[in-house]
Structure 1
Amino acid sequence: MTTTKTLYLLCSAAPPVFDVARVIEDAQARGWDVCLGLTPTAAHWVSGSLDGLAALTGHPVRWQYKFPGEADVWPAADALLFAPATFNSLNSWALGLTDGFAVGVAAEAVGKEGVPVVAMPCLNSALSLHPQFDQSLAVLRGAGVTVLYGEGGFAPGPAGPDAPPHFPWRTALDAVTNGR
């Protein structure tokens, strides 16, 4: 199947990142050419799978910025999905703190006209009560990011469990496929 649309899939270090190969396959079945970007901790978590993920996507998996003057190894994005997006990644993104590759790419995408940007948070209910979190979601939404949180998106569980009982990957892929 020939794909014509490029999806930047950015992932933070949260348990749903371990499903990323299946998510890439689902996105490819929808016609997306997927480029995978990770936070450094997410890259560490899936380090044993990086070569396989690169083979699956046909693109290098990135978690670090390229050097100045180096060619970009990814095609231009037609859409961006940041999922799972952790408390730290979302707050950094909203505050414009782009010292990490994944957050930097997401921050830049907000300024690119015609590129839908979708975020699916993944955090526990204790972190969701931090006052900066609501402010960060408001900033991102105000910048045009579709944030799938709460009803119709990710709903946090209690602090403590290692993995949410269900991460709505399909909802996230539906949102980028439908251009939200």
Structure 2
Amino acid sequence: MTQDASKPFLYIVVCAAGVAQGVGKLITAAQEADWEVGVIATPLALRFFDTADVEARTGRPIRSAWRAPGDPRPFPDPDAVVVAPATFNTVNKWAAGISDTLALGALCEAYGLGVPIAVLPCVSEALAAHPAYRASLERLGGMGVRFGDPYAGEADEEGGHPQFHWRRALELLPPH
């Protein structure tokens, strides 16, 4: 895949949830909407989707670990960020300003740079009821982060996740 520096660049941050196996749908939708795409995954998320397919679709390596000093930057600065699926752990750590993974560091930095951020949560109802999670959503919402409807992560009878609305993430972003 050739990369086009004239197109806006979208970071897709992927967290460890079963629905992450469908992240290719979001990549395709973003590319159809004229975005260049780079994927940043939490370390555990790498086991939840086809990494070779994602790299082939984006034409870029998946980022999951910090680069060494002096290593080239594999992605340009983002014009927008989508977090999908966003887990309980990532939402809470991000709201608290914890930056112990590349994914969290990118999210904390994107806010500081004023980059628009859209989030599709994937959190069970039991975890969503936790007061820390509710406080995290409120804090992030106050920071201008836009949230899609929560998804509890249930698979259908065939093991798919048809209710996870990947394209909704792009609708939450301002036009580019």
TM-score, normalising length: structure 2: 0.87
What letter matches 1:116 in structure 2? P
Change (3 A) 1:165 1:174: same
What does 1:13-162 correspond to in 2, within 5 Å? 13-46=16-49, 49-113=50-114, 115-148=115-148, 153-156=149-152
> Which consecutive segments of 4 or more residues in structure 1 shift more than 6 A?
none
TM-score, normalising length: structure 1: 0.86
**Distance (whole Å) between structure 1 residues aligned to residue 25 and residue 153 of structure 2:** 23
| Mapped pair 1:4 → 2:7 | yes
**Distance (whole Å) between structure 1 residues aligned to residue 71 and residue 142 of structure 2:** 33
What's the offset of the Cα at 1:154? 2.4
Q: Runs of 5+ in structure 2 lacking a partner?
A: none
RMSD of Structure 2 on Structure 1 (CA): 2.2
**1:5-60 alpha-carbon deviations (Å, 9 max, x no partner):** 110000101122101112211110110101011111111223xx323311210111
Change (3 A) 1:77 1:157: closer
What letter matches 1:169 in structure 2? W
Equivalent of residue 167 in structure 2, options 152, 170, 176: 170
Q: How many residues align?
A: 170
Q: Runs of 5+ in structure 1 lacking a partner?
A: none
CA contact (8 A) 1:93 1:106 kept: yes
What's the offset of the Cα at 1:165? 5.5
Change (3 A) 1:132 1:28: same
